[in-house]
Homo-oligomer: A and B are copies of this chain.
């Protein structure tokens, strides 16, 4: 029995990312590649520096093409089965940085159909409504409306379906069994769906780079197999680790109770969730903690700072040292995080409200 599971619909267990890289057949991001990205971008990004983005497929080719003057475009997405949480923002924030640094067009796909197919109790109206909610968070991150389009599958199906059909003709049920573990009981919406997740890869001519959570990689393995058969370039990918849930390092942030910080949480809710539920790497009492110190590697609050909320390396390093030595208590670490989250959310929620009037600038019209 595997000690962890990572599929597009289910993440469980304590993920060994080295093992996952081998299992999925992706490339680890080397120090050389990290430097090459930084050089091409004109600056480094803390998520790259800290290995939050840890793996890729042909990111080196994208840089090579960029060097030769070939523009690439960006594509990522979200399955709208609930409100947006902090974990969802990781690839979007990174995508925003890529757009800024490379002037790239960006397509953001909201897969309302997928979540309808995969969630027994959700209607298409439910998932469409979540799609609109999630879109607000995406827009709030500051993407350039001139270069960014939001695709909602049922809304933009006339654009997507003819492209998806090219994929679907060349993928059989065996392929989906091998890739996703589908069975004879899997519904035919789910079976077909991967073709629609592929479609935005070919919405423009030229190469595409997809920043995304590594759990979504299997879809694009199929896309990459089929792309040459339809004479289109294989999508390149750059994968981020899953942000852990409040409960601890196993699995990922999810809609399970008290497991996620949502973008719509109030300051009090954030304070309560972090204080009460964020898994601590500290010792059982203060005296012990002062003596032995905490373990930042498994401490969820520290990991949130590292992965998202503290981009400043010097500050993070000092927190790391203080916590590990026992000088900083869990309560103090949590206090730092709560302030960081609430500062971020205060600004985000303002931009999120403004986004309600800007939807028209971003929605793909065809």
Q: Is A203 among interface residues, defined by CB-CB distance under 8 A?
A: no
Task: Kindly list chain B residues whose C-beta atoms are within 8 Å of the C-beta of A161.
Answer: 113, 154, 157, 161
A185 touching B173, Cβ below 8 Å: yes
- Determine the main DSSP class of A at the interface with B: helix
Residues of B within 8 Å of A195, CB to CB, are 188-189
Tell me, in angstroms, the Cα distance from A130 to B200 when the chains sit together: 27
For the complex, give the distance between the alpha carbons of A194 and B191 in Å.
13
- Contact partner, A185, options B172, B188, B189, Cβ 8 Å: B172
Of A89-97, A134-142, A176-184, the one contacting chain B is A176-184
Bound-state Cα–Cα, A165 to B185, Å: 16
CA distance A168 to B124 in the complex (A): 12
Q: Given the complex, which residues of B lie within 8 Å of A158, measured CB to CB?
A: 154-155, 157-158
| CB pair B187 A170 closer than 8 Å | yes
Question: B186 touching A173 by the CB < 8 A rule?
Answer: yes
- Does B172 lie within 8 Å of A188, measured CB to CB? yes
Are B191 and A185 in contact, with the CB atoms below 8 A? no
Interface residue A169 (Cβ < 8 Å from any Cβ of B): yes
- The reply to whether the CB of A162 lies closer than 8 angstroms to some CB of chain B is yes
CA distance A117 to B192 in the complex (A): 12
Give the distance in Å from the alpha carbon of A165 to the alpha carbon of B117 in the complex: 8
Specify which of B182, B183, B184, B188 is in contact with A192 (CB 8 Å cutoff).
B188
The A42-59 residues at the B interface (CB cut-off 8 A) are none
Check if A174 is an interface residue, CB within 8 A of chain B.
yes
Closest Cβ–Cβ distance, residue A118 to chain B (whole Å): 9
Q: Which residue of B lies closest to A153 (CB)?
A: B161
**Interface pair B172/A192, CB less than 8 Å apart:** no
A349 an interface residue at 8 Å Cβ cutoff? no
Docked pose: A113 CA to B117 CA in angstroms: 21
Closest-CB distance, A145 to chain B (whole angstroms): 24
Residues of B within 8 A of A177 (CB): 184
Which residues of chain B are within 8 angstroms of A184 by Cβ–Cβ distance? 172-174, 177
Is A116 interfacial (CB 8 A cutoff)? yes
Q: Is the CB of B154 within 8 A of A172?
A: no
Q: Name the distance in Å between A165's Cβ and chain B's nearest Cβ.
A: 6
Contacts of A155 in B (CB 8 A): 158
Q: A363 at the A/B interface (Cβ < 8 Å)? A: no
**Which residue of B165, B169, B183, B187 contacts A168 across the interface (Cβ within 8 Å)?**
B187
Contacts of A192 in B (CB 8 A): 168, 188-189, 191-192
- A5 interface residue (CB < 8 Å to B): no
Q: A158-B158, A162-B154 are in contact. Are A187 and B174 (CB under 8 A)?
A: no
A11 interface residue per 8 A CB criterion: no
Indicate with 1 or 0, residue by residue over A182-211, a CB within 8 angstroms of chain B CB atoms: 111111110110110000000000000000
Q: A108-156: which residues lie under 8 A (CB-CB) from chain B?
A: 113, 116-117, 124, 154-155
In the assembled complex, how far is the CB of residue A168 from the closest CB belonging to chain B, in whole angstroms?
Answer: 3
Could you list 10 A-B pairs, sorted by A, with CB under 8 Å?
Answer: A116-B165, A116-B169, A124-B162, A154-B161, A168-B192, A170-B187, A172-B185, A173-B184, A175-B188, A177-B184
Assuming A113-B165, A172-B186, what are 20 further A-B pairs, CB within 8 angstroms? A116-B165, A117-B169, A154-B162, A154-B165, A157-B157, A158-B158, A168-B188, A168-B189, A168-B192, A172-B185, A172-B188, A173-B173, A173-B191, A174-B184, A174-B185, A175-B188, A188-B192, A188-B194, A188-B195, A189-B192
